[in-house]
């Protein structure tokens, strides 16, 4: 158990819908990262927050957005969902933005029908 | 783009040492080598990292060649639970965002 929690574990929805994925980092970790993993592919970095502020952006679509709240939990919002958005979404946290040892949550499996 | 090259798959007998190679011929002086693994769609797990000296922890050993162009992750006594995809990642600590760039990794299968 990494100490990072993600909810929900599974999510099934239809095209065009909007969903919110939630992540709670390890106690004391200020940095949160979001990754997408499509079927049988490597992880793609989406976005990073550090202490409530956006720190880095990867290949995140404009239909996707994220935020980190004062209690340090983070939410990833996915809108106008397409079939291709079906994937595992992982959240990771680290003690600070300079610490590369990232601790990953169990992921949310999103299925868009 | 990933800066590392790994074999797509490897087999190892249970109880033997598993040696996973990684080529990072374009690595620069301030870049570290990190290893993570992912067991069947679970969240990736940090294993070890190093700069130029060999490193060992409770999970594995990391051997980095003198020219730093390649490295080997060693699992000394592989068990069935070590079956996973192993990712070798080169990462600079000089960058400001510290995102990890993931390649395809090596699928390691431990056989009884």
CA-based angle B104:A3:A11, to the nearest 5? Answer: 65
List chain B residues with CB under 8 Å of A31. 98
pLDDT truncated to tens, each residue of chain A (113 aa)?
Answer: 889 999 999 999 999 999 999 999 999 899 999 999 998 778 899 999 999 999 888 889 999 999 999 999 999 999 999 999 999 999 999 987 665 689 999 999 999 99
pLDDT at A1: 84
B6-37 pLDDT per residue, tens = 999 999 999 999 999 999 998 888 888 999 99
- Judged by CB atoms closer than 8 Å, whether chains meet at B46 and A101 is answered as yes
**pLDDT of B98:** 64
CA of A30 vs chain B CAs: smallest distance (Å): 13
Contact A97 B98 (CB under 8 A): yes
Residue B3: band (very low, low, confident or very high) from pLDDT cuts 50, 70, 90: confident
A102 Cα to chain B: minimum distance (Å): 7
Q: Check residue B41 and give its pLDDT.
A: 84
- The CA distance from A90 to the nearest CA of chain B, in Å, is 7
């Amino acid at each position: 158990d990494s100490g990072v929690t993600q909810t929900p574990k599974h999510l099934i929805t239809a095209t065009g819908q909007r969903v919110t994925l939630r992540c709670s980092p390890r106690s004391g970790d200020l940095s949160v990262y979001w990754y997408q993993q499509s079927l049988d592919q490597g992880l793609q970095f989406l976005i990073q927050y550090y202490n409530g502020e956006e720190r880095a952006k990867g290949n995140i679509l404009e239909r996707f957005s994220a935020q980190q709240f004062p209690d340090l939990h983070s939410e990833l919002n996915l809108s106008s969902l397409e079939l291709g958005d079906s994937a595992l979404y992982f959240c990771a946290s680290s003690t600070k933005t300079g610490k590369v040892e990232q601790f990953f949550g169990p992921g949310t499996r999103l299925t868009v029908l | 783009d990933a800066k590392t090259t790994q074999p797509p798959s490897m087999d190892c007998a249970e109880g033997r040492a598993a040696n996973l190679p990684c080529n990072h011929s374009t690595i620069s002086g301030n870049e570290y080598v990190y290893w993570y693994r992912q067991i069947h769609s679970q969240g990736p797990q940090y294993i070890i990292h190093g700069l130029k000296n060999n490193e060992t922890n409770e999970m594995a050993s990391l051997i980095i060649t003198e020219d730093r162009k390649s490295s080997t992750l060693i699992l000394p006594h592989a068990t069935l639970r070590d079956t996973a995809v192993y990712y070798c990642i080169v990462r600079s600590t000089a960058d400001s965002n510290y995102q990890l760039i993931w390649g395809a990794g090596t699928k390691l299968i431990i056989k009884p």
